[in-house]
């Protein structure tokens, strides 16, 4: 059963000179999760930040820290992000040889575990992992950069994963990341998504605009 729509602003689009204040601002503006995009310049063609920055800003909000690890190899860094305050840790199946073991590792620390599917990753990848998943993330752009255009073909993947989640009877988050705006969000929700990651669409216009931006993506305004 699809859960209520939650919004996870990606801090990759925030003003890094004021990162703590930016997270506080989107928290107050109605964010449900804080989406933390970690990029290594190897698995994806960009570098963002690591566990030290994640830990530094953890204390400014009590909202769920939704940490998306776009790094390879991923296994050596799981514990560091646990220690940094991650609540959910999402990994890519291409980022290690044994994704099932990686998800087991995340859950062994008492954290929620997620799997992320790139646009070219087949939906069937989740079939032997879903029993360990608390979140499944559909990338609706190729990861590595913010501000990209939504890839329409991923809507069918969202629908296919929605059916798989519903068949489990479990409340697994179905998250979409990439090109999510007030215009594309309703299509994602209609396809079955219940967590929407948005970067530039949330952080445009400065702190005074964040509440209206979040409401527009959620469909409240």
Rounded Cα gap, residues 55 and 66, in angstroms:
13
Q: What is the DSSP letter of 171?
A: -
| Amino acid 102: pLDDT | 98
- pTM for the structure as a whole: 0.97
* Cα–Cα distance measured from residue 122 to residue 119, given in angstroms and rounded to the nearest whole number: 8
List of residues 6+ apart from 28 with CB closer than 8 A: 211
What is the predicted pLDDT for the residue at 220? Answer: 81
What SS3 class is residue 45? coil
Crossing angle of the two packed helices 19-28 and 210-218, in degrees rounded to 10? 50
CATH tag for 6-218 (out of 3.20.10.10, 3.30.300.130, 1.10.3720.10, 3.20.20.70)? 3.20.20.70
Omega before 73 within 30 of 0, i.e. cis: yes
pLDDT in tens, the chain (221 residues): 889 999 999 999 999 999 999 999 999 999 999 999 999 999 999 999 999 999 999 999 999 999 999 999 999 999 999 999 999 999 999 999 999 999 999 999 999 999 999 999 999 999 999 999 999 999 999 988 777 899 999 999 999 999 999 999 999 999 999 999 999 999 999 999 999 999 999 999 999 999 999 999 998 85
* Residue-level pLDDT at 221: 54
**Count of residues making up the chain:** 221
Task: Extract the annotated binding site for a divalent metal cation.
Answer: 35, 37, 68, 177
Which positions are annotated as active-site residues? 37, 177
CA distance 132 to 103: 6
pLDDT score, position 1: 83
Cα–Cα distance measured from residue 205 to residue 202, given in angstroms and rounded to the nearest whole number: 8
List binding-site positions: 10, 35, 37, 68, 144-147, 177-179, 199-200
Among the listed residues 170, 148, 160, the one whose alpha carbon sits nearest the alpha carbon of residue 122: 160
**Binding-site positions for substrate:** 10, 68, 144-147, 177-179, 199-200
């Amino acid at each position: 059963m699809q859960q209520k729509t939650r919004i996870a602003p990606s801090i990759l689009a925030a003003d890094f000179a004021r990162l703590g204040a930016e997270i506080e601002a989107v928290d107050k503006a109605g964010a449900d999760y804080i989406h933390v995009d970690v990029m290594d310049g190897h698995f994806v063609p960009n570098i963002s930040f690591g566990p030290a920055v994640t830990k530094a800003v953890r204390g400014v909000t009590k909202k769920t820290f939704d940490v998306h690890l776009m790094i390879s190899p991923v296994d050596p860094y799981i514990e560091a992000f646990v220690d940094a305050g991650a609540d959910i840790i999402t990994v890519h199946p291409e980022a290690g040889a044994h994704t099932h073991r990686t998800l087991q590792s995340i859950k062994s620390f008492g954290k929620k575990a997620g799997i992320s599917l790139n646009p070219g990753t087949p939906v069937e990848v989740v079939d032997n992992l879903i029993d360990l998943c608390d979140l499944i993330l559909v990338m609706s752009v190729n990861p590595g950069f913010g501000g990209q255009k939504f890839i329409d073909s991923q809507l069918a993947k969202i629908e296919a994963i929605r059916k798989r989640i519903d068949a489990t009877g479990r409340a697994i988050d179905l998250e979409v990341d990439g090109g999510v705006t007030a215009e594309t969000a309703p299509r994602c929700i209609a396809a079955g998504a219940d967590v929407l990651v948005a970067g530039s669409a949330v952080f445009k216009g400065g702190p005074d605009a964040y509440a209206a931006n979040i409401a527009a993506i959620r469909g409240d305004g």
